[in-house]
Amino acid sequence: MIGSIDPVPEQPLLGKYMRLRREGLGLTQEEVAARMFISLSLYRKLESGDRPPSGSRLEDWCRAVEAPRWLLKKLVSLALPDIGHSTIVVGEWPPNLREEDLEHLEAIPLPAYFHRFPEMEVLAANSIAGMAFPWLAPAAPDADRPTNVIEQMMTVPIAREVLINWEAIVHRMVFSLRTMGPGVVKPERLAQIIETCSTNPEFEWMWNTDLSEDEFNDSLVLAKNPETGGRMAFTMRSYNAMHPYNCPYQLFMLTPRRDPGVA
């Protein structure tokens, strides 16, 4: 144990998430079954793991317990591991990125990265991202492991100096790792990230504190302009390729936006 953080979390079952959500709302199994229009015996089998749920059953359950979209995505990732997450082999470094994908990344005229999600490993960065955030550059091909965004955010002092809303950005990443990582990220790699980040005393409360759906969906990044010292506002977006379908990594981009703090 590192504080109150389990460095190798138990590999969760769908039913564990279903039970925790139901109990957190103070609902009985009977009440959730009624909301899903299924029998109590069937619901018990779903929550115990004796009956694998279909995609439509997962959607029905999420509506019944008003689950946020991230939880639906997590349940889908457990039920269908090849859907909704990067599928690069865990622990594979360096990644086998195609030349056409690297050319595509470099052609984007804004800071852009290829990430492995949900652990937020940096697989590649374009030259603009390298100039703007050199501490998030990909690791060398002969490195033991890739650069990790969460580790860098937690341990590199310049991250907090550059990012004005550092706490909100990092908390969202830590929350994503905690909720979506187990069952998807290799336990040994998850333990490495937790151990590295735990050198920062703020990591434990971020790991153990939930976010509202609005906080989780917040996309604002505020950074200091290195030349003027003023504020720059960006929208943070992550994309999974629909075509070609053989791009098993997430495209992460920052695009300029109006600063909500400026009238």
Say what angle helices 40-48 and 29-36 make with each other, to 10 degrees: 110
CA nearest neighbour of 133 among 111, 154, 115, 148: 111
Task: State the DSSP string of 34-49.
Answer: HHHTS-HHHHHHHHHT
Vertex 84: Cα angle to 233 and 119 (nearest 5): 60
Give me the sign of the Cα torsion angle 153, 155, 159, 164: positive
pLDDT range class, residue 234, cuts 50, 70, 90: very high
- Strand order of the β-sheet with 231-240 is 121-125, 112-116, 250-256, 231-240, 220-224
Whether 138 has a pLDDT exceeding 90, the answer reads: yes
pLDDT at position 21 is 82
The CA-based dihedral angle spanning residues 10, 12, 15, 21, taken in that order and rounded to the nearest 10 degrees: 90
Q: In a 3-state reduction of DSSP, which class is residue 82?
A: coil
Say what angle helices 14-24 and 40-48 make with each other, to 10 degrees: 120
Cα 36 from Cα 240, distance rounded (Å) = 30
Per the model's pLDDT, the better-predicted residue between 253 and 16 turns out to be 253
Whether 89 has a pLDDT exceeding 50, the answer reads: no
Q: In a 3-state reduction of DSSP, which class is residue 113?
A: strand
Q: Global pTM?
A: 0.77
Q: What is the pLDDT of residues 26-43, one digit of tens each?
A: 999 999 999 999 999 999
pLDDT range class, residue 88, cuts 50, 70, 90: very low
Q: Which DSSP helix (H) or strand (E) runs through 116? A: strand 112-116
Q: Are 232 and 261 in contact (CB under 8 A)?
A: no
Whether 211 has a pLDDT exceeding 80, the answer reads: yes
Q: Longest C-alpha distance within the chain, in Å?
A: 64
pLDDT range class, residue 80, cuts 50, 70, 90: low
pLDDT at position 24 is 80
Mean pLDDT across 136-148: 90
Q: In a 3-state reduction of DSSP, which class is residue 225?
A: coil
